[in-house]
Amino acid sequence: MEDPPSGNDAAYFRPLGPGDAALLADLYADCFEDPRPWDAQAMADLMAMPGAFGFVVYADESPQGYLMARLVVPEAEVISLAIEPSARRGGLARSLLQLMIRQVEAVGGARIFLEVAETNEAARGLYDSLAFREVGRRPGYYHGKNDEKVTALVMAHNIHPTNS
């Protein structure tokens, strides 16, 4: 288990494992209003990609969220980050991202990418506060309520901003 990066004394983190696909699919379904949610097989396929890693965060002995990523040095990508709605705004997503940043930095990674729905102001605020900056846009990337098309913002975080 990992210690929380900052301010989450009641939370604990563990690396994703091969048996987590169903758990991740359940969390995904709870956390996103996706008309095409990822099932356990999709999660297993994502975790089987070269360089895939991530963490599950627990509070009060129950899973509250996860971060799944992929690392191909020098770049990493957040594949999915989800926090149970009842646990949001408690710092868990921030802690997961900080844990990822430390891990990517420890193996020589230089940059982390992610996509976020243009309409997701809470997530965008979190990413901005962690020095992720918009580097691109993908119109119609997400399917929102009633299958509406939502633009994804591509954001990047430089591990060592002065060297990038």
Q: What is the pLDDT of residues 69-122, one digit of tens each?
A: 999 999 999 999 999 999 999 999 999 999 999 999 999 999 999 999 999 999
Is 4 inside any structural domain?
no
In a domain, 3, yes or no: no
Cβ burial of 141 (10 Å; 0-12, 13-18, 19+) is middle
Predicted TM-score of the model (pTM): 0.88
Catalytic residue among 127, 134, 141, 142: 127
Give the chain's largest Cα–Cα span.
44
Residue 77 domain-assigned? Answer: yes
Tokens of residue 24, six digits: 């991740």
- For the stretch 115-145, pLDDT in tens is 999 999 999 999 999 999 999 999 988 877 7
* Domains held by the chain: number: 1
142 is catalytic: no
CATH number, domain of 42, equals 3.40.630.30
From the list 28, 115, 141, 142, the catalytic residue is: 115
The reply to whether 139 falls in a domain is: yes
The single-letter DSSP state of residue 34 is -
Q: Is 115 annotated in the active site?
A: yes
Please give the residue range of the domain that contains residue 107. Answer: 11-163
Judge whether 6 lies within some domain: no
